[in-house]
């Protein structure tokens, strides 16, 4: 093969390596490809790839010497025991006597035909290695890897160029040097792009987790929800991916799919950042900035005072008329009034706490109590305002329909917020996954009333994760965290009512995912015996 043909072949190989470098996404594999590609281009027996660290040291990342069958770092899984090489000594003087550090400090290629005869560089370590192994280190080619900003991010060092005809050790010729420098340039671009992508990915993840943390910190009653839902989501998603039977057997997840779903899970409640705290934190029916039951208590105390004053005035009026007041009857009437007020106040307090159900009779009684009159600034007014009666008669929980609509609007806000973001192709489904966790299989969910067929498996997974976390959470204002068996029983009812995906629920139970989650995130008092067979029947 002529010299020109060999050069064309090596250029083709350089192009092939460059294309492969641009496609590789794993850092360790990328570093290995750079070194192995350079060795192949130059017929080098060995080589080392170094990275420049932020602490002004040069660290070995990959080491290879073919004739010694010596390999460390990269895919070998063998750690490199050698300490990083400092660019400066303890006094701040540049360390230029080492070839690798000289290359970094002077931004230059160093081509040494024979290390044993080289002047100005310290090859003591190399000679010691040779004496122990019987190897002979001869030719060295050391090339800097420089990024787009002109910063040197690494060093590619090749050892012992070999003659293609007889494998004898020869110096690295000018052609080999130019090819290696070209490869180093491509490698630096690939490494820089890879690092930039990694940095942007880390930044995105940090911002997402920052938003989730802000939402959890916004209310003491939802703390941790945005962090726990991703755990449940990915747990169930991995189980669906692994199953080989039933309707979910064809569901698969690539690494990109996993990442996309994880991001969606972290962002599923980002719209809550727009929800007013007084609604999110409404732990009682009368709570706004403060719990207005305290104001009602004060009004009742005024009624008690007025009752006592009325009794004393009747006694005084009898004395003024020269009559003997019926003190016992007046006292009995007064005590009866106090008992009635206490009973009514007890009912107001009980009603104020909220619950799963409020009887119609209790609602009517609240309305009657509200019509009692008390004196405010010399004017007779009802004991309870219309708004207070309306709130105290909430049949379930602590939120009025209007406040529940405000809460529900968080999912609309979530979708709007996420749909405005320019997600890259591999994250384009984040708005759909995050925005669908309140939809139901029968189409009665919100905000879009989607049916199961219209929902992705990922959105259906998130729906179960969101509900189960909410049921078992111990930090909600209107309830304690439910026991494991009770939470799962409620989910079973939701399955039967076609609110959640029945196949995913059965998988959640069959694989005992609830148990794995409970052992890590639930209070021990919440973990009780679960009838698995009864739940999937």
Buried b (16+ CB within 10 A) or exposed e, 55-72: eebbbbbbbbbeeeeebb
Q: Do 63 and 80 contact (CB within 8 A), yes or no?
A: yes
Averaged pLDDT for residues 451-477: 89
151 shares a domain with 88: yes
* Biggest alpha carbon–alpha carbon distance for the chain: 140
CA 85 to chain CA centroid, Å, is: 37
pLDDT of 184 reads: 82
103 shares a domain with 22: yes
244 shares a domain with 190: no
46 shares a domain with 160: yes
> Domains in the chain: how many in total?
3
The token pair that represents 351 in the structure block: 């009603």
Q: Which of 134, 166, 197 is a domain's end point?
A: 197
Q: Is residue 209 part of a domain?
A: no
Percent of the chain with pLDDT over 70: 93
Q: Is residue 411 part of a domain?
A: no
120 shares a domain with 20: yes
Phi, psi for residue 252 in degrees, rounded to 5? -130, 155
Average pLDDT, the chain: 89
356 shares a domain with 257: no
Give the integer Cα–Cα distance in Å for 121 and 28.
Answer: 30
Domain hosting 262: range is 219-269+422-536
Averaged pLDDT for residues 186-214: 84
- Higher pLDDT: 354 or 280? It is 354
435 shares a domain with 382: no
Q: Do 501 and 441 contact (CB within 8 A), yes or no?
A: yes
Q: Is residue 277 part of a domain?
A: no
Averaged pLDDT for residues 122-138: 92
Model confidence over 397-444: pLDDT tens digits?
888 888 888 888 888 888 999 999 999 999 999 999 999 999 999 999
Give the integer Cα–Cα distance in Å for 127 and 194.
Answer: 36
Task: Return the bridge partners of 142, or none.
Answer: 110, 157
User: Could you please report the per-residue DSSP string of 461-500?
Assistant: HHHHHHHHHHHH-S--TT-PPPPHHHHHHHHHHHHHTTSS
Q: Is residue 286 part of a domain?
A: no
pLDDT of 5 reads: 58
Q: Do 338 and 360 contact (CB within 8 A), yes or no?
A: no
383 shares a domain with 302: yes
Model confidence over 479-521: pLDDT tens digits?
577 899 999 999 999 999 999 999 999 999 999 999 999 999 9
pLDDT of 406 reads: 85
Give the integer Cα–Cα distance in Å for 187 and 147.
Answer: 9
Q: Residue 282: which of 292, 268, 274 has the closest Cα?
A: 292
Dihedral sign for Cα atoms in the order 157, 158, 159, 160: negative
For the domain that residue 256 is a member of, what is the CATH number?
1.10.3210.10
pLDDT of 23 reads: 62
Contacts of 455 (CB under 8 A, 6+ apart): 436, 439, 441
The token pair that represents 221 in the structure block: 């009653």
Give the integer Cα–Cα distance in Å for 143 and 133.
Answer: 26
> Is residue 381's pLDDT more than 90?
yes
CA 312 to chain CA centroid, Å, is: 67
Give the integer Cα–Cα distance in Å for 523 and 472.
Answer: 9
Give the integer Cα–Cα distance in Å for 29 and 49.
Answer: 12
pLDDT range class, residue 478, cuts 50, 70, 90: low
225 shares a domain with 192: no
CA 147 to chain CA centroid, Å, is: 31
Q: Do 505 and 495 contact (CB within 8 A), yes or no?
A: yes
pLDDT of 75 reads: 83
Stated pTM of the model: 0.70
Q: Is residue 44 part of a domain?
A: yes
431 shares a domain with 362: no
- Torsion, CA 526, CA 529, CA 534, CA 536, rounded to 10: 60
Model confidence over 48-83: pLDDT tens digits?
999 999 999 999 999 999 999 999 998 888 999 999
Averaged pLDDT for residues 283-302: 90
Q: Is residue 214 part of a domain?
A: no
Dihedral sign for Cα atoms in the order 69, 71, 77, 80: positive
110 shares a domain with 19: yes
For the domain that residue 10 is a member of, what is the CATH number?
3.30.450.40
167 shares a domain with 44: yes
Q: Is residue 283 part of a domain?
A: no
Q: Is residue 280 part of a domain?
A: no
The token pair that represents 147 in the structure block: 């990024």
> Is residue 125's pLDDT more than 80?
yes
223, burial (CB in 10 Å: exposed 0-12, middle 13-18, buried 19+):
middle
Give the integer Cα–Cα distance in Å for 188 and 152.
Answer: 9
Averaged pLDDT for residues 317-327: 89
Phi, psi for residue 26 in degrees, rounded to 5? -95, 125
Q: Do 398 and 221 contact (CB within 8 A), yes or no?
A: no
Q: Do 483 and 523 contact (CB within 8 A), yes or no?
A: no
Model confidence over 3-56: pLDDT tens digits?
555 656 666 666 676 666 666 666 677 778 888 888 988 999 999 999 999 999
pLDDT of 8 reads: 63
Averaged pLDDT for residues 269-294: 84
CA 243 to chain CA centroid, Å, is: 25
Euclidean distance between the first and final Cα of the chain, in Å? 75
């Amino acid at each position: 093969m002529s010299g020109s043909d060999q050069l064309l072949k090596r250029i083709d190989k350089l192009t092939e390596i460059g294309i492969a470098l641009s496609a590789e996404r794993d850092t360790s594999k990328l570093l290995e490809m750079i070194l192995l590609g350079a060795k192949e281009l130059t017929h080098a027996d060995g080589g080392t790839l170094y990275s420049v660290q932020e602490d002004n040291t040069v660290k070995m990342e990959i080491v290879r010497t073919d004739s010694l069958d010596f390999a460390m770092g990269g895919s070998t899984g063998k750690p490199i025991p050698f300490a990083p090489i400092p660019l400066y000594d303890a006094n701040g003087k540049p360390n230029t006597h080492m070839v690798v550090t000289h290359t970094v400090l002077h931004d230059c290629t160093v081509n040494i035909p024979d290390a044993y005869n080289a002047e100005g560089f310290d090859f003591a370590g190399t000679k010691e290695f040779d004496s122990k192994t019987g190897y002979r280190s001869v030719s060295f080619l050391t090339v800097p890897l420089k990024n787009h900003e002109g910063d040197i991010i690494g060093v590619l060092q090749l050892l012992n160029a070999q003659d293609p005809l007889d494998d004898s050790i020869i110096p690295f010729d000018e052609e080999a040097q130019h090819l290696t420098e070209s490869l180093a340039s491509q490698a630096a671009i690939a490494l820089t792009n890879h690092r930039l992508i990694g940095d942007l990915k880390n930044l995105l993840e940090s911002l997402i987790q920052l938003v989730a943390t802000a939402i959890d910190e916004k209310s003491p009653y939802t703390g941790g929800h945005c962090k726990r839902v991703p755990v449940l989501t990915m747990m169930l998603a991995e189980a669906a991916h692994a199953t080989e039977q039933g309707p979910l057997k064809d569901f698969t997840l690539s690494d990109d799919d996993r990442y996309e779903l994880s991001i969606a899970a972290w962002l599923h409640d980002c719209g809550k950042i727009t929800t007013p705290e007084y609604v999110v934190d409404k732990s009682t029916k009368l709570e706004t900035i403060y719990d207005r039951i305290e104001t009602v208590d004060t009004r009742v105390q005024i009624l008690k005072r007025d009752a006592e004053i009325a009794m004393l005035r009747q006694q005084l009026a009898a004395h003024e008329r020269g009559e003997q007041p019926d003190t016992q009857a007046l006292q009995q009437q007064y005590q009866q009034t106090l008992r009635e007020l206490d009973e009514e106040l007890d009912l107001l307090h009980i009603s104020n706490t909220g619950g799963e159900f409020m009887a119609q009779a209790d609602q009517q009684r609240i309305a009657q109590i509200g019509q009692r009159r008390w004196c405010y600034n010399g004017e007779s007014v009802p004991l309870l305002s219309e708004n207070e009666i309306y709130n105290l008669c909430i049949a379930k929980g602590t939120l009025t329909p209007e406040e529940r609509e405000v809460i529900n609007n968080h999912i609309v806000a979530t979708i709007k917020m996420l749909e405005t973001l320019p997600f890259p192709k591999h994250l384009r489904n984040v708005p759909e996954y995050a925005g669908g966790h309140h939809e139901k299989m029968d189409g009665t969910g919100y905000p879009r009333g989607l049916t199961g067929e219209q929902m992705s498996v990922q959105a259906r997974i998130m729906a179960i994760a969101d509900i189960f976390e909410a049921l078992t959470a111990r930090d909600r204002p209107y309830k304690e965290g439910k026991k494991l068996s009770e939470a799962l029983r409620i989910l079973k009812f939701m399955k039967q009512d076609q609110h959640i995906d029945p196949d995913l629920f059965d998988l959640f139970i069959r694989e005992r995912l609830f148990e794995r989650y409970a052992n890590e995130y639930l209070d021990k008092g919440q973990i009780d015996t679960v009838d698995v067979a009864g739940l999937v029947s």
